Every structure is written in C-alpha cells, then in structure tokens.
Chains A and B, each alone.
Chain A
Amino acid sequence: MTTTVQVTADAARLIAYGLRPKLVPARDDVYRSLVLRARTDDEFIAAVQAVASGLDLVVLEISERSGIVVGSVEDSVFAVKMTDYARRTGGEGKAAERVLHALAHLGAATLAFPRPADLANETYLGRISVDGVDAFVREAASRLAERAAESDSGDTAVDQPGLESAWHAYTRRARTGSTGDGRALTSSTTGIVGKALTFLADQGLLVRTGTDRRGTFRTTPRYRVQVREAGVVMFDELLRLGITEISDGSATIAVGWTAESLTEL
C-alpha cells in the first residue's frame, strides 16, 4: 500500500517538473532519475498518466532532452487563456484581436518549422525573429489578398464584420509604429508578434538569442512537441469545418528546375 502511495507521489513530482518548463533533466538529478524511471517502469508511467489526466493535463512526451512535456486540455485550470494572455481580447467584438494574437503564435511555429520534416526531426532547431514572423504571416496574407483582388472580393460588408477574412484583419493592421515616447506600438503586428515570442520564451518554449530584428529566438525541443500537438488539434478543427489540405510530407510548393529556367535568370 505504501509503495502505491510512493509511486503516486513520484508521479506527481514528475508532473510538477513538467509544470516548470525551464527545468531540464540535465540540470536536476531527481528530475533525471524520474525521467529515466518513466522510460523503464510501466507501473510508474501508468501512475504518471493517471495523475496527469486527473489534473486535466496530457503527457505529450517524456524524453531526456526536454524532460516531461505536458499540455493542458480544454478548460483545464492550467490552460493559458487568451483573455489573461492579452488584455482587451474578451467579448464578442474582439474576435479579430484574438485572431491576430493566435496568428502570431501560429506564424511563429510555421516559420520555426517551415517544412514538415523539421517538425518531425527531434534535433531540428528553428531560428526566428519578430520581424521575420510578421513578414512571413504578412506575405502569406498578402498572397490571399492578391487572389481576392483578382476576383474583387477583398472588401468586407460593413454590417457583418465577423465575415471579414483573417488575412484582411492582418494586412490592414499597421506593421509597426512609433508612439512618440520611443516605445514600439503594441497594437501593431510586430508588437503582437513580439509579445507572442516573448511569452513563448517565458514559457521555456523559445530561447532568446539576440535583439536583432526586434528580438531573435531559437526553438527548444519542448516547443517542437507542443507545436506538433497544437497543430494536430487545430487540424482536427479545420477538418470539422471541412477544410483539408492533404500533404504527402514534401514541401507544399514544389520547386522544379530545368537547365533552361536556370539560364533564364
């Protein structure tokens, strides 16, 4: 009986390590021994899973590199809420604001793992910057804008703001701006992306490597796991809306080159 309690206590301790994302097993002996135990001890891993599900958490990965990575399920007490994350994002009329913040996060992940293979590669390290992420999302949005301009369907009906396209909401927002007192404009898209990347760095998912281009960051193994999980969940959501893009795992726009096209340049 005591042993069961002991196993549960250890399992809970391992989960607690997972809630401190900046700790890595390499820096903590107890953590490392618990991670090693989780890889070999079936009873222990079952206990870890049970404790996690009791807390409304999901164990995404246990590895020596990133330790235990836990994700929160919807409505969990541990979930990051958008209204806590950014002020003035609650309520009906603020959908566009929420979309911008979430797009910044998705854009960061996409630029960090541009190819499907990068997301599958455990040792891949992505490098991103605030300006880079903003330009990347803006580029993707302006491609859609060009397509819409061709069919002249870009503009939104005034009485139905909810039917505005997400790309439109992004492109019409200012890229950057000065505020008079030298600070960056937080409501601009670079301000929003900057907030996202700083937040992810605080969460131990990114590591700040410099201040060039408004802040440069590299990914951590934990981020890859988190993005993969979030991506799958989001893909399911898109599937529910009937929007699917099937990928065979190769790059989406194939670059085919012939000798002639090279000489054309």
Chain B
Amino acid sequence: MSQTGSDIGFAQRVKALACTAPLHDLDSRKAQVQSADFAVYQMSELALNAIDLVTLAMDFDAGAPPERILADLAAFAARQMPGRDDAEHSRVARWVLENLLNVGSADRGFRAVYGMTTSDGSYSRYAFDFKLIEEVSGADGGIFLRATNEAVNVLVGALEIDIESAQIAADLRLETLIKRGRLSDAQAAAQAARYRTIQYGEKLRQRLEATERDVRTVDWLHEMPQFIAEAIEHIEARYKAENAILVNITQVRDTADIPTRKLQAAQLVEVVRDCLRRHEQLQAALQGAGRRFRAQQDRQTFAPGSVAASLDLHAQLLVPALALTVMQADDVLAAYFGRGAGVSVPPALRLTDLFLALVTPPAERELLGGEIEEPDLDETEEEPAFPPECYELLDDLLDLDVEAPRRLSGLLAEARSLHPELARLVVVRVVALAAQEINPAMRHGAPSVFIAVDDGTPLHDPEYGGADLIVARAAIEPASVDSYQEAEAA
C-alpha cells in the first residue's frame, strides 16, 4: 500500500492528538503529587489557561514574562478553589507551567510516538517531538515564555493550517456568528482570529531577526516580498473586517437588554480593539521591514571583501552538516571540533616537583603584611632656565621710573647689549606682566605693579614678533575708604 494523502492526514491527526496529551497527563498525574493535594484542581483547564495567557501576552518583540504568567495563572487556580490559600495557588500555577515546559527532560519538550504504514506496506514507528511553551531569552538577558505553533494549534483546534486561509475562515465565521447574534461563539472566533494575527507577527519577527544576523539566510528576492505583500493584504482585510465587526457589536452592546449579553458584547469589543491594536503594530513592523533589510544588506553584503575566496562556512559546512544524520554528523563534526578548538596542553609532572609541592609548608602570611620601607627620594633642585646674573640684570632693567614707561623694543636693545640671553628673559617676563592682575598686588601691599599695554604699534625685531608693548611701572595709590567701599559694592 502506498503512502497516500490520507495517511499524511492521518499522521497529522495523530500529531494533533499527541499535542493534547501533556494536558491530559496533568490531570492523571495530579493525584501523585505527594507534597500537596492537587487532585481538586482541573489541571488541563489551567494548562489551557496558561497557554492562553502566554499566547496573548506575546508581543511583536517580547514574550511573556514568567512571573506575570504565574501570577495570572494562580488567579485562575484561586477561582477553582477559593477555599485554599494563596501559597497553594501559586504552587499549582508553578507546577502546571513547569509541566508544560517539561522541566526535567533534556530537551524541555515532549515526544510522542506514532506509527505509519510506509510505501512498502510495513508499519514503522516515528517520534514526533514538540514543545507547547518554550523559554526564550529576552534582550535584557531575562527569560520569556513563548507559545509554540503546536500550542496555538491545540488552542484553536486545528493543526498545520496555512495562516492566511485559516484567517479568512475565521473572519467569515466571526461575521456570521455576530449576525446571528451568537455572541459567545463570536467571542471565541474573535479570539481565534487574534491568535492568527499573533502568528503572523511571530513569523515576521523570526524572519527579520534572521535577516539581521545574516541577510543570506532569508530569501528576500521572492519569499519575503511575497510574505510582506500577503501580510499587508491580511492587515488590510482584517482592518476592514474588524472595523465592521466593531460597529456591529458596539450596536449589540448598546442595545442589549440582558446583562450577560451586554457583558459578552463588551468583552468582544475589547478583543476586537486588541486585534486592531495588534494589526497596527504588525503594520508598522511590516513597513519598517524593507528599511531594516536594506540597512542590513548595506552592512553585510556591500561591505568590501577581499577577492581571495576561501571556504563558505555557512553553505559548505554548516548546512550540509545539519542535514546529515546524527551518526554521520558525529564523525564529520568531530573532525572540525578537533582542529577548531585549539590545543590543550597536558601537564607534565615530575614526581620530585609534586613531592616538593606537597611537603612545602604553606607560606604563612602576616595579618598586616610585611614592613613597608620608606622610599628614598632624591631631592633634585630645579635648575633655573637662565644664568643667575641674567635675573639680576633683569631686575635692574625693569626697575623703571613710575613716570617713564618704556617700549619693549627699547628694552630688548638694551638687554642685548648687557647679556646675550637677557633679551629672551625680558620677553618672557614682559609677556607674563601683560597678564598681571592688580588686585593680588594690592592685597600684598605692593607699592607698584608692572603693566604691559599694547597700543597697536608693531614690534620690529630680528627675533621676536608681535606688538611693541609699552612697559610701565604703575604706582598703586591707596584709594580713599569711601571709593574703596564703592568699588567693593560694585
């Protein structure tokens, strides 16, 4: 018997059944929990609640923070058993979440075995590995929860469906249900539509992340433009549909006369509003997708590379290795690991060294450490930059009459006649004088202060350039007390 389409369909149904097994398993195992009495809780319902919570909290960028899910789930547990204390409720929540993650197994996933009749008529068993909730790392290093496709499929009760066609069906269903006034069904359908939207967002997010890592792993020539076009079309249709639905149910809400019906309608309005918000988010991400791709392409593809070609690690090694069976890959990858991991140097030990190391008593350390020796510091005197006689000559030269300021050029000429290095010292001193302040000199009680003033005359000198400053000794006259106070106040 050949493998027909119905066999594949059969396998899919078996897998769909398998996805629900961990939920039933919770109820069958709850009685075995020794530390507490969990038997009174409806565990599979809590598990469905958990998957619901995680799916709804999944945003375009982040997953659901586990603490929040645990808190919300504990609230559901509390609703089931209001008599028990809060600590038990949160223990129940944790137990359910850990079992959905399957903490304890190496893969943190589930495995179901199913059988199929192969093309040669024999019956063989296959393993189907799946996860319901997985832990992913967030941008800040924390751990987030994400519901897997399998989990979302368990939730909406269909397996391996094309997002787009499922969405159209959900829309039609939703509209019909509202028209017929079956609000509770409509609410379920609206929630299903929301899950589909989340799946779209999730798929786009994965593609964009992959692009950021390596533009070549995502087919941006055919697949991505098509996907983006599909997704935008989806948003457009959803937007129309949801707005129509919103108008419809708002009407129902406002005209409803039974309280429960009013409440249902109000909840439905909330769900649809949330859908609209998510669509806006998805649309913004879609619009940015092209820009993000181009930025990554610029960064990766158009970065200049050398012409000398060598191995293409991605296409020639990684992808073929991943496609191998574990047995073959083991040999091939061992060759890579052996060469790529570098060398390890085994310790070569002499017995005498070992013996010495073992018999040497540990060096005792004093509590305060060794004595600190005073460092011997050499005192070096700073040598003056100019010969000492220059300073004497300078003092004579600058001992100016208060009434007779001199020009720099004149001072320089005289300095040159006195000492060969004096001219330079004069320039240094005069330039320093130009910046002298009167207040400190006054405070020190100096009778006079040197000032150098630039009146715009250029200096004509073989060595120095600039302004021919007027150098003067200005006498400091003690001001009258009144005027001093005035100056202070000013």
Contacts and interface: CB of A to CB of B under 8 A. Distances in A.
A206 to B, nearest CB: 10
Interface stretch (A4-12, A27-35, A37-45, A235-243): A235-243
A40 B471 CA distance: 68
A26 interface: no
Of A101, A157, A250, A262, the most chain B CB neighbours within 10 A belong to A157
A247 B316 contact: yes
A165 B310 contact: no
B318 interface: yes
A49 B219 CA distance: 46
A140 B217 contact: yes
B297 A255 contact: yes
B2 interface: no
Interface in A147-187: 152, 155-159, 161-170, 172-178, 185, 187
Contacts of B309: 116-117, 120, 247-250
Given A102-B333, A157-B125, A185-B108, 5 more contacts: A82-B337, A98-B333, A162-B326, A163-B326, A170-B322
Given A144-B319, A165-B326, A226-B339, A190 B216 contact: no
A110 interface: yes
Contacts of A116: 305, 309-313
B337 A80 contact: yes
Nearest to B112: A155
A161 B126 CA distance: 10
Contacts, number: 327
Contact of B134 (A174, A255, A264): A174
14 contacts: A95-B330, A96-B326, A106-B336, A136-B213, A139-B213, A158-B127, A161-B326, A172-B131, A173-B108, A174-B108, A231-B316, A247-B309, A251-B312, A253-B216
The 9 closest A-B pairs by CB, nearest first: A249-B309, A265-B290, A117-B305, A174-B108, A230-B340, A102-B333, A230-B339, A252-B315, A203-B342
Contact of A155 (B127, B313, B344): B127
Contact of B293 (A205, A212, A265): A265
Interface in B136-174: 136-137, 139, 141, 143
A91 to B, nearest CB: 12
A98 B143 CA distance: 26
A178 B143 contact: yes
A253 B223 CA distance: 13
Contact of B341 (A156, A177, A203): A203
Contact of B310 (A105, A173, A190, A249): A249
A107 interface: yes
B334 A106 contact: no
B31 interface: no
A214 B137 contact: yes
A205 B340 CA distance: 9
A207 interface: no
Given A169-B326, A174-B109, A264-B229, A234 B137 contact: no
A151 B124 CA distance: 17
Interface string A53-73: 000010000000000001110
Interface stretch (B84-92, B99-107, B235-243, B409-417): B99-107
Nearest to B288: A265
Contacts of B108: 173-174, 177, 185, 188
Interface size class, chain B: 35 or more
Nearest to A175: B136
Interface string A84-110: 110000000001101101110111011
Contacts of A50: none
B478 to A, nearest CB: 67
B466 interface: no
A261 B319 CA distance: 28
Contacts of B124: 157
Given A190-B137, A214-B141, A234 B333 contact: yes
B110 to A, nearest CB: 10
Contact of A165 (B308, B323, B342): B323
Contacts of A155: 114, 126-129
A239 to B, nearest CB: 10
Contact of A144 (B109, B213, B310, B322): B322
Contacts of B372: none
Interface of A: 18-21, 57, 70-72, 74, 77-82, 84-85, 95-96, 98-99, 101-103, 105-107, 109-111, 113-121, 131-132, 135-137, 139-141, 143-144, 152, 155-159, 161-170, 172-178, 185, 187-188, 190, 199-200, 203-205, 211-214, 226-238, 241, 243-245, 247-257, 261-262, 264-265
Contacts of B341: 80, 85, 105, 199-200, 203
A19 B343 CA distance: 7
B192 interface: no
A101 B321 CA distance: 13
B418 interface: no
B365 to A, nearest CB: 29
B367 interface: no
Contacts of B214: 111, 114, 136
B338 A74 contact: yes
Contacts of A250: 309
A40 B338 CA distance: 31
Contacts of A132: 213
Interface in B4-37: 8, 11
Contacts of A237: 331-332, 335
B335 A234 contact: yes
A190 B135 CA distance: 11
A82 B334 contact: yes
B314 A252 contact: yes
A251 B313 CA distance: 10
A135 B217 CA distance: 12
Contact of B343 (A70, A162, A163, A253): A70
B122 to A, nearest CB: 11
B445 interface: no
A140 B322 contact: yes
